[in-house]
Amino acid sequence: MTTIVDVARAAGVSTATVSRVLNKHPHVDPRLASVVMQAVKDLGYQPSRVARSLRTRRNRVWALVISDIRTGPFFADVVRGVEDVAYSAGYSLFLCNTDEDPLKEASYINLAVAENVGGVVLTPSGPRTDLGSLASSGTPVVLVDRKLPDQGADTVVVDNVLGATQAVAHLLAGGYQRVACITGPLSTTTGLQRYQGYARTLEQAGVPVHDRWVRVADFREAGGRAAMQELLALAEPPEAVFVANNLMTVGALQAIAEAGLEVPADMAVVGFDDVPWASLLRPPLTTVAQPAYDLGLESARLLLSRLEGYSGAARLVTLAPTLRVRESSAPKAQATRPAVATGDRDK
């Protein structure tokens, strides 16, 4: 088994120099570092993870704390993006689901600190999420999917305003004027920004923003269903709806079907989050697709850079969503009820 002593001998340097090179010490001659790294490559040397953990007093595990695993493929893809980077860098993950509960979230953050994890990737439950214990312990943290005000943490998000703008502009271009919005809690940046994109797009098009056509739900199926039922019960219901996540979209579609209405003839629908089954629905569902895997990938890369010595200012990475147009938002002039087969008549 190759040791650090073997690397030092092959490179003609001391073991201390090898250690400084491997730990990316800033005051190492680049030419000397090149010689050491060539020796590491030639000998196939693998630094001891146990020894490194003892030196840094941190283990080779990251905590991934997400707000609600039940949102389906979105967070599954985020997790996969984080895992791929972590695994390739020699780290493992433990996954925590907070159910949007600030107390549960705080307990997982405290656990991460107590276990001396290498770092944390976190989807905050709301603006009161406290990163103080992570900061005081020196544990690097990266926020994913949602921002926090004045926390100074690296953050990776999707441009939610742009995604909502794409969805609502598409409905307006299709001839719909009474466009409703079902969004998530306005205490979250995702819920708030998707509503802001909706309202701003209507205002810029000269279409009034009516509070009666806006519902704030909980990012879950039952909330989307209840919100859609309320909209359908209005004296003047909307003719199209933008729904701000995939679970609420499922609930909204359920309410529309229970009312005996058709999509898009009676209600055009655009959802936020693309899912594998969106194209299998009848009619296929128009969605704003988020690059969920890339959210996880970029957040893990930022965390890894912190662990490798980056100590600069907090960074914000914003990824662009993509509108995937399908039949659920067909232009108003083309939105007709499907033909009903009558079968052969008796002769």
- Band of residue 343 on the pLDDT scale cut at 50, 70, 90: very low
pLDDT of residue 112: 92
Query: Looking at domain 56-158+292-321, which of 3.30.1330.10, 3.40.50.2000, 3.40.50.2300, 3.40.47.10 is its CATH number?
Result: 3.40.50.2300
**What is the torsion angle, in degrees rounded to the nearest 10, for the CA atoms of residue 96, residue 98, residue 103 and residue 108?**
10
Lowest mean pLDDT among 117-131, 176-190, 261-275, 325-339: 325-339
Report residue 47's pLDDT band, with 50, 70 and 90 as the boundaries.
low
Distance CA 314, CA 304 (A): 14
Higher pLDDT, 205 or 26: 205
Q: What is the pLDDT of residues 161-170, one digit of tens each?
A: 999 999 999 9
Confidence of residue 342 (pLDDT cuts 50, 70, 90): very low
Q: pLDDT tens-digit profile of 272-302?
A: 988 888 888 899 999 999 999 999 999 999 9
Q: Is the pLDDT of residue 25 over 70?
A: no
For residue 4, which amino acid is it?
I
pTM of the model: 0.78
pLDDT, one tens digit per residue, over 102-113 is 999 999 999 999
Asked whether residue 155 carries a pLDDT value surpassing 60, the answer given is yes
- Enumerate the CATH 3.40.50.2300 domain ranges in the chain, comma separated: 56-158+292-321, 160-290+324-334
User: What per-residue confidence (pLDDT) applies to 48?
Assistant: 53
Q: Quote the pLDDT of residue 92.
A: 93
Count CA atoms closer than 13 A to 16's CA, side-chain side: 1
Q: Residue 71 has what pLDDT?
A: 65
Residue 36 in contact with residue 7, Cβ under 8 Å?
A: yes
CATH superfamily of domain region 160-290+324-334: Response regulator (3.40.50.2300)
